Structure 1
Amino acid sequence: MKTKLKKGSVVFIFIMLSNIVLMAQSNLDARTRSFDSDWRFKLDTISTGPEQLNYDVSDWRIVDLPHDWSVEDVSIQKEDSIVGPFFRNSSGTIFDGFTYGGIGWYRKSFDLRSEDVGKKLFIQFDGVYMNSKVWINGHYLGVHPYGYTPFNYELTPYLNTDGTKNVITVRVENTGKNSRWYAGSGIYRHVKLTAVDPLHIDIWGVNITTPEVNESLANVHLTTTITNGYVNAAGFVLHTEILDAKGKVVGKSKSKVNTSTYGKMEIRQEITIKSPLLWSAETPNLYTAKLNIIRKTEEVDNVSIPFGVRKIKIDAQNGLLVNGKSVLLKGGCIHHDNGPLGAISIKQAEERKVRLLKENGFNAIRISHNPPSEILLEVCDRLGMYVVDEAFDAWEKTKFIDDYHLYFKDCWERDLTSMILRDRNHPSVILWSIGNEIRERASERGLEITDMLAKKVKKLDSTRFVTEAVCDFWDARRTYNWEEHTPAIFDLLDIGGYNYMFKKYESDHKKYPNRIMLGTESYPAKSYENWTAVEENPYIIGDFVWTAMDYRGEAGIGVTSFISGKQKKIFVKWPWFNAFCGDLDFIGNKKPQSYYRDVVWDNSPMEMMVQKLSIPEGMKYYVSDWGWPDEQRSWSWPGSEGDTLLVRVYSKVENVKLELNGKVIDAQEIPDSSITAGFQLPYVPGTLVAKGYINGKEVASTTIKTVGKPVAIRLKADKSNVKANGNELFYVAVEIVDEEGNVVPYVNDIEVNYSIKGEGVLAGVGNGNPTDISSFQQLKKKVYQGKGLVILRSNSKKGRMILEASAEELGSDSITIQVQ
């Protein structure tokens, strides 16, 4: 049944991205500083032995982190198979989006600061893809295979204290077929250096929970892990204050420790907040816990931890309750890349992504299929977005020959632990996922691993629920089937994650009435069916579409094309690099399925799309399971006059009437099982109007008009000023418009050239075309469906930055940004 309608040059190219001075990191305190700037980098296959530490690095490029060499142009190698940043003969081909991987080396020299003498120094990496090896002053610190989990090393025993510079060396190896999607290459997330007193709070050593929450008070529990490196030390005091968003102290505690115990210890504190401001996706209120260690009369350590006060409850009878209120998860799966910027995690890029998703109706994201960056979670906390935090895409059984299965047995515990310890204080994280479509999931060994992982999660964090994304794709290849073996999987989980199996909800519920279900992946074209199931059944707490936004890799899984009558499906080839299955395209513009979802989620009463119907003889129209018909919100089809077009109207009304240039073309009823009416009519330029009726009364309408010819370029910046700190990104939308300022949606082949003057540089260019393999780093790019994107970065000087865009026969436009 329908729900009730609601109204409502090469060197230059190489250095462009590398010169992005790192964005100001959040969560840096007095003991931690950014370690992102002035690294030396070389893409090479230098020997793996210790002799590489003595190489001359004078010809290595200077880069700032985060850095992803897979997004940079490698055409300097002059191979026919390389175009811009794309390598046709990559190991992963369409799966990694024709990524140029290889081996990269990073080197950084630094002085030991006077205030660091006598302290312990740790280097923290938030993410390095992949197989990183790290040395300090020639001493080997270790290897970290997984490309997505944070890790750290202590540098103290190997530091030069005689005034000689210290040298950090990092080797990164991204080789073989190791990922089903674009992973990027290099130190693509932030790096920090932390200097602490021998008596200090451990990295990720504060665990904050809110077991009792109501409108009157919140009982906040803090467990702090402290390391005492003094053999004969006096006692100390741990002071903890909780501050609200305005910096006002709303609660505090003091714990006096008289013991001089050497090593680690845990201190537990409880603080009550009166009339707390609760955190939810709709009201993302945050507090800060400020912890200080006082030894004698000296402050020897301090950390500040943002957190939210909220209470999560989930059961099959009431669904998901956040602070006692029912919440349905309007979810989207996302990969970790940021469009033209590649895999680098930068504050404003992550913030833009989350903001776009919220603006388009999403209140939840599933991080697929690996832990996210620390910055992404900080953004989700601040803007309000529920998060399913996922650990692995493979356990012991391989999906690709060089993937994580090679390391699982040795590394799973370390990687799972680091994810949870880093992320457990983020209120946005509501579920832990231990795997996605694991091949051995229902085997005896698979169940052992499920139990092992789930228990480890609960040991580290008992306040959240554990899920796993399960599918039936692999079952036909094995001796077991869904009905016999999946109950054993779900018995080990708090929530059953269903990938593409909404048809099993009802029958499974009859057998297992207390099972909580979650649509962890679903097809875009089935969003109405999936969401109806969520709305009607409390035991289904939400649905996550694959995907919320286009991404590099898994190229063409959302393809729409013509195929011969004998073909059953199409396998895309070069130059596809983009999955093309997102609600939003590669640069963040709405795609047809996003408009459809607006109706499904009652964010819009009616939307209308148009598709060409001409099919070559002997061919048929093909839309992949993750795809969408090749339609647009457009009534501008030059050259198609007289051709029959298909008009789809999406709405939850009872009847739809279609008018063209003031004349009624047709009227249709929309059945209860659908929200779609389809009309076929010859194309005549003009005005197309759809009107919707309930009980004979017009309750909704939408209009599309034919636009004029392209005559100009229009630039639109997302902000009017930026900080002169050398580290702020901003985004400029590029549009091809007609005389009246309408975007011309059929323009795909106009190349726009850019120039930048003043206090700024180019960070990247892009469009939504899934087959445009031109550079992301040159000052030119074609538009797609009349639109493009330029990403700029401010300098460290105050003044102005001017971006000018020009194209043949369209003149130019410019935009001025104040750098303050």
Structure 2
Amino acid sequence: MQSGRERLSLDRGWLFHEGDIPFPIVTGHQPSYDNAKAGSSSGAASADYDDSSWKLVNLPHDWAVEQPFDRNANLAQGYRQRGVGWYRRYFRLDPVDHGKHLEIQLDGIATHSTIWVNGVLSARNWSGYNSIYIDMTPFARFGKELNVISVQVDANAMEGWWYEGAGMYRHTWLVKRNPVHIATDGVFAAPVKSADGTWSIPIETTLYSTEQNLSTVQVESTLIDPEGKPVVSGHTETTVQSLRESIAKFALTVNSPRLWSVDQPTLYTVRTVVKRDGVVLDELTIHNGFRTIRFDPDKGFFLNDRPMKLMGTANHQDHAGVGVAVPDSLWDFRVRRLKEMGSNAYRAAHNAPAAEFLDATDRLGLMVMDENRNFGSSPEHLRQLDWMIRRDRNHPSIIMWSVFNEEPSQGTEMGYQLVRRMSASVKELDTTRPVTAAQSNSDLNPVNASQAADVAGFNYVYRDFDEYHRINPTKPMFSSEDTSTVITRDQYTTDRKAMLLDSYDDQVLPWGLSHRDAWKQVNERPFIFGTMVWTGFDYRGEPQPLSWPAAGSSFGIMDLCGFPKSAYWIHQAQWITDRPVLHIIPHWNWAGSEGKPIKVMVTTNAQTIALFLNGKPVAEKPVDKYEMVTFEVPYSAGTLEARASNGGKEVARFDVETTGAPAAIRLTPDRQSLAGDGYDAQPITVEVVDAKGLVVPTADVPVTFTLSGPAAIIGLNNGDPTNHEPEKGTQHSTYHGLAQIIVQSELAGKGKLTLHATSPGLNAGDASVNVIATAAPPAVAEISSQALVLMNLKRSPASANSPDPNQQLVISDMNSWTPAHPDALPPFRDGVFAIYRTNFMPRRADRP
């Protein structure tokens, strides 16, 4: 809790119903009258709906990933049915919260959603990728009364042609603040370096007030270094009108800060405090970083005045086993995998990512192209765009704002005018980064969208690079999406009928290039400042060029689990320059092919490769830094070794060895500990190994898992896009020797989790992970029993005489009967008797 505010998690204790619940048909005068009033929502949206049979779930939650594969479902959504679902969450507010500003924050719901709070229609949202902020202050209930959030999710609505999941798949929060407070996403503090080399932080603090009167407050911000020491402070005074926003502005001057970079991602903290007469009303801390970005139309991109090619990947947001309900710690895992490959950039395709992902890119040093989902200039489109900029503009990892991806109007006046308007909206909120767009054709048209962008992005339009640069010599440009080569992990022959794609980087779709050639097109042109390879990871849906039973893409440099494909080793060789890189493709298990030639590709950043089979020389070849080097090697079981040299001096060795038969299961956790906060999660790698401990790359075996200790299994997968096994449960097969299981700690967990894996005929595998007692984020208490509290009473006119309890009531009387609350019954003005009435339906469990 920061002074003056509480941010409480609402993730736990939701009730979920899969399927739609039709609203009751309204007939009659009184029901029609009531139906038109605020707070009188009916059906599952009403505050007193009977949800006692619903399923208890915690968020983030993706119900689509729990569905079986269905050939009749949309292949773009991974052959998973989506449909409509409902969520409800009960909570209480302490009477001391009365008078505070109370806001519900829903970070992401796929796809369209309608939200009611205490029966009051509070929000409708038309995108699955933006947050929803609801001021519930006017209709909050306090004390013993229950508050209830009801959410209808329509996941039949689609925004993309990839797997989007279904449900409340990001975090949820309740934020309590004083009446005068910092608005949500209300502090902007991006450092700026002036021409004379000095640094300043222009700080904008957006304030909001629900008080009755004008408020005069003091706003103070302090920059804090990575060790927690204050560096510099500044302040100003401003007035805030009732129910209005006010922006306080001032700047901090900073001398010689440590810079944020991809190699040393140094983060600072800005603490902003709002005071009145010395009393703290609100306090908020945000993280930022000092770095400069420059896009030169001839020389490319510069980070902190250092020339740097963007070596990036584009990615969707689903992961093995969990769908789009990705635990925060898996973002770290995915960022680390990309950085280990040599990547320094990331395109969030084609939508704003989770806030926790951007926290990871800030912390670990990965530059981001943040992308808007819906293209247009209507108030709704601009609202979604403005939300993204406000939420994300303090992140030093973000270097570009993208306003669209591959729009049909991109080569027309319409596309140009839309980008103009969207760019203007962005620059009202942030002028420190350029606006771009991912344009897939028509870039040479006399009028096209790229002309309204600061930076031109090209999707697959390699042929136009040179001509566009000639025509637009002052426009920076980059490859915003390229490659589109499809690979099945550890598969070395192509069989389209069996839905198998080889790993030699030659299964290129008609619009794309190989990983090797795509990088050459970028790297050979100084004016092309970088690439965003499609994609870093496989994702569900879009299985082209394959079809059923393939339910996921094969574009990834890594599979859905994050296991590397051959493209991973190609990019390591292309992108890593500070150490030797060496890898052999394929494995060396080719029983039955003795004496037959096997195609061998060696990926390396060295100059020369000498190949040896069982200690005997095979061949020595120079390396093409783009194409790598290939050999034809007659197969003989044993060890195939590559020796890399620069200038005649050996710099690295790598070998692959023919393995024995599968002998055991080996389990390897990503980390040795988990925080016992109920959120922390990590993948555990499942390997089939031989008696020597070598991974058997041809082993597809069933594995059963047993978990003991303070954790749970939340997902399983093996990276095979044709695999239809459930991703929830305790059983899964390996694919080409590998699988992944994801475990998550229990709330208040402490001790040790032990995962035990068995497979018929193999030695069992075990792995243990320490679960460290860790305080969970502050949270709103769960309501374990949805007791029916009768609050919506109506009182008859007062009477001097005791009324007849059997009298016929005029239900349609909307005027003389007045609303009444049990905790605050209105005083009688005349007489001493009255009748109170209400309508309710006993819950199923309470009925005889």
Q: For 1:87-106, list aligned pairs within 5 A.
A: 87-90=70-73, 92-93=74-75, 95-106=76-87
The normalised TM-score by structure 1 is 0.84
Residues of 2 paired with 1:135 and 1:681: CA distance? 67
**2:417 and 2:449 in contact (8 A); partners too:** no
Q: Is residue 748 of structure 2 the alignment partner of residue 754 of structure 1?
A: no
The Cα shift of 1:602 comes to 3.8
1:395 to 356, 375, 378: 375
Aligned mate of 1:59, from 42, 53, 57: 53
CA shift, 1:247, in A, is 1.5
Post-superposition CA distance 1:106-151 (Å, at most 9, x none)? 0011101234211111111111111100001111112101010112
Q: Which amino acid aligns with 1:747?
A: A
C-alpha distance in structure 1 between counterparts of 2:683 and 2:215, whole Å: 54
How far off its partner does 1:700 sit?
5.1
Partner of residue 558, structure 2: 584
Q: CA deviation at 1:263?
A: 2.3
Contact 1:744-1:786 at 8 Å conserved across structures: yes
The correspondence of residues 330-341 of structure 1 with structure 2, limited to 5 A, is 330-341=311-322
Matches for 1:429-448 after TM superposition, within 5 Å: 429-448=398-417
**Partner residue of 1:563?**
none
Q: How many Å separate the matches in 2 of 1:702 and 1:229?
A: 67
Higher relative contact order (CA 8 A, sep 6+): 1
Cα shift at 1:677: 3.0
1:373–1:797 CA distance, 2 compared to 1 (3 A): closer
The match for 2:725 is 774
Deviation at 1:180, TM superposition (A): 0.3
Cα distance per residue 1:710-739 (max 9 Å; x no partner): 111111112222223222212211111112
Following superposition, the deviation at residue 439 of structure 1 comes to: 1.0
Q: Shift of residue 688 of structure 1?
A: 1.5
Which segment is superposed worse, 347-356 or 154-163? 154-163
The range that moved more, 99-108 or 595-604, is 595-604
Task: Identify the residue that residue 665 of structure 1 maps to in structure 2.
Answer: 618
Counterpart of 1:739 in structure 2: which amino acid?
Answer: A
1:77-112, CA deviations, whole angstroms, 9 ceiling, x for partnerless residues? xxxxxx3xx23221x22x111122011100011101
> What residue is the counterpart of 2:458 in the other structure?
498
Alpha-carbon distance, 1:465 to partner = 0.4
CA distance, structure 2, for counterparts of residue 27 and residue 342 of structure 1: 33
The corresponding residue for 1:618 is none
Alpha-carbon shift at residue 648 of structure 1 (Å): 1.9
The 3-state SS of whatever aligns with 1:235 is: strand
Within the alignment, does 1:705 sit opposite 2:705 as a pair?
no
State the 1:178 CA deviation. 4.6
Letter in 2 for 1:37: R
The whole-number CA distance in structure 1 between the counterparts of 2:609 and 2:143 is: 81
1:144-543 to structure 2, matched below 5 A, reads: 144-161=125-142, 163-175=144-156, 178-212=159-193, 217-257=198-238, 263-392=244-373, 395=375, 409=378, 411-472=380-441, 482-485=443-446, 488-523=448-483, 524=485, 525=505, 526-543=514-531
For structure 1, the residue ranges without an aligned partner over 5 or more in a row are: 1-25, 75-82, 397-407, 473-480, 558-570, 611-631
SS at match of 2:411: coil
What's the offset of the Cα at 1:709? 1.6
Tell me, yes or no, if the aligned pair for 1:606 and 1:649 is still in contact at 8 Å: no
Q: What displacement does 1:505 show?
A: 1.8
Shift of 1:686: 1.2
Tell me if the contact between 1:346 and 1:375 (Cα under 8 Å) persists in the aligned partners: no
CA RMSD of aligned residues (A): 2.4
C-alpha separation in 2, matches of 1:443 and 1:357? 36
Structure 2 gap ranges (5+)? 25-41, 486-504, 506-513, 773-848
CA distance in 2, matches of 1:466, 1:510: 21
Q: Counterpart in 2 of 1:619?
A: none
Aligned to 2:568: 594
Amino acid at match of 1:244: D
Q: CA deviation at 1:312?
A: 1.6
Contact 1:338 1:350 in 2 (8 A): no
- For 1:259 and 1:652, locate their aligned partners in 2 and report how far apart those are by CA, in whole Å: 60
* Aligned residues between the structures: 723
For the 8 Å contact 1:656–1:691, the answer to whether it is kept is: yes
Shift of 1:319: 2.1
Trace 1:7-86 onto structure 2 (pairs within 5 A).
30-48=5-23, 50-52=42-44, 53=46, 54-72=48-66, 74=67, 83=68, 86=69
State the alpha-carbon separation in 2 of the partners of residues 788 and 215 from structure 1. 55
Q: Secondary structure at the match of 2:428?
A: helix
Residues 237 and 248 of structure 2 are in contact (CA less than 8 Å); yes or no, is this contact kept in structure 1? Answer: no
Quote how far apart the aligned CAs of 1:55 are. Answer: 3.2
Which residue in the other structure is 1:812 paired with?
A: 764
1:386 deviates by: 0.3
| Alpha-carbon shift at residue 432 of structure 1 (Å) | 0.2
Provide the rounded CA distance (Å) in 1 between the counterparts of 2:758 and 2:655.
31
CA 494–216 in structure 1, closer or farther in 2 if over 3 Å, else same = closer
Say which SS state the counterpart of residue 381 (structure 1) adopts. helix
Q: Is the alpha carbon distance of 1:696 and 1:729 closer, same or farther for their aligned partners in structure 2, counting shifts above 3 Å? A: closer
Distance (Å, rounded) in 1 between the aligned partners of 2:358 and 2:647: 46
Indicate the residue corresponding to 1:567 in structure 2: none
Q: 1:774 to 1:309 in 2, by over 3 A?
A: same
Q: Match for 1:659: what amino acid? A: F
Rounded to whole Å, the distance in 2 between the matches of 1:427 and 1:182 is 29
Between the aligned partners of 2:228 and 2:583, the Cα distance in structure 1 is: 48
- Contact kept? 2:21, 2:43, Cα under 8 Å: no
1:640 match: 593
What is the aligned partner in structure 1 of residue 635 from structure 2?
683
Q: Shift of the alpha carbon at 1:537?
A: 3.4
Q: How many Å separate the matches in 2 of 1:48 and 1:667?
A: 74
Asked if 2 retains the 8 angstrom alpha-carbon contact of 1:441 and 1:450, the reply is no
- Residue identity (%): 32
Structure 2 CA distance for aligned equivalents of residues 502 and 279 of structure 1: 32
